[in-house]
Amino acid sequence: MFTDFTFENLDLGEVVPRVRHGGRGPAVLLLHGHPRTHTTGHRPAPWLAETHTVVCPDLRGYGQSSKPRTDDDHEPCSKRRMAADCLEPMRRLGHETFHVVGHDRGGYVATRLALDHPSAVTHLTALDVVPIGEALSRCDANFATRWWHWFFRAQPSPGPETVINNNLSLWYRATPEDMGQESWQDLQLALSDPRTIHAMCEDYRAGLGIDRRHDEDQAAGRRVRCPTLVLWATKSDLPLLYEDIRGIWQTWVAGEVTAKGIDSGHHVAEEAPGKLAEELLKAWPSAEPVRGGEREAGS
């Protein structure tokens, strides 16, 4: 994985994120979702690194990044705090401005980065998500049935953590064939640490509370100001929950939203890395689209 990339643990004081970075050209920050680590980006990264400097961190609490303290408001695992975690490493690596691509929980962090730090984020790509505030305001029986895990993981500690730690293989069923052997092993190492399970539950607790309050910024008139690309997996739950994904995002973005589905399951970077890289590079004016056949998808 990540041939010719540099590996670092960056000491930010409160947290120490694990980061890989490599490539050349304008910077792009790839943010993973739950329960993955930064290694979920190892398949599309080679395409992107041909024309961009690619930075892949573990979000705070995930993977081998340090685990944050917890409090009653779950603020240390808020997307605002996670976004700030991402901003500082980019600056330390010499990137004052950058594209950000966020999948799943990382999509919420990416959106918060674009809202809170508009001078840094030049392009936003959200993968298989709508904003947390939108999901909760539209919550119905269909959402609660399909995404019941939001509400389970947000229950008070240590209830969810105890249940999950008692049967990790039931909760996390990814295989080496799905992810690649090295990426799968990295995930297993992360999940074997009860502190990671707790931090991930704190992420969901923050989602139902403080993150939702932060998303009320949109109702007050704040908008994403940079070019925004929204991609969703056609074989995931998202198109079953929302008829107009682009329309939902358009209320959050000042300019025009570009949006389309990708023929994939939820974990797009693992299942359709070539198509994902192609769509990203098409959306970024500084890069040429990937030419078909140059790499085998999934390699």
Cα–Cα dist 8/12, whole Å: 12
Catalytic residue among 85, 104, 128, 215: 104
φ/ψ of 261, rounded to 5, equals -90, 150
In the chain, the amino acid numbered 105 is R
Q: What distance, in Å, lies between the first and last C-alpha atoms of the chain?
A: 10
Concerning whether 85 is annotated as a catalytic residue, the answer is no
Strand partners, 127: 103, 231
Which residue, 245, 224, 216, 223, is CA-closest to 233?
Answer: 245
**116: amino acid identity, one letter:** D
Interior CA angle at 112 toward 276 and 287, to 5°?
A: 35
Listed residue (55, 123, 117) closest to 280, CA to CA: 123
Q: If we measure between CA atoms, which residue out of 182, 199, 232 comes closest to residue 35?
A: 199
Residue 266 catalytic? yes
Out of 193, 217, 237, 266, pick the active-site residue: 266
Answer whether 212's CB lies under 8 Å from 219's CB. Answer: no
For residue 162, give every residue at least 6 positions away whose Cβ sits within 8 Å of its Cβ, in sequence order, or none. none
What is the set of active-site residues?
Answer: 104, 266
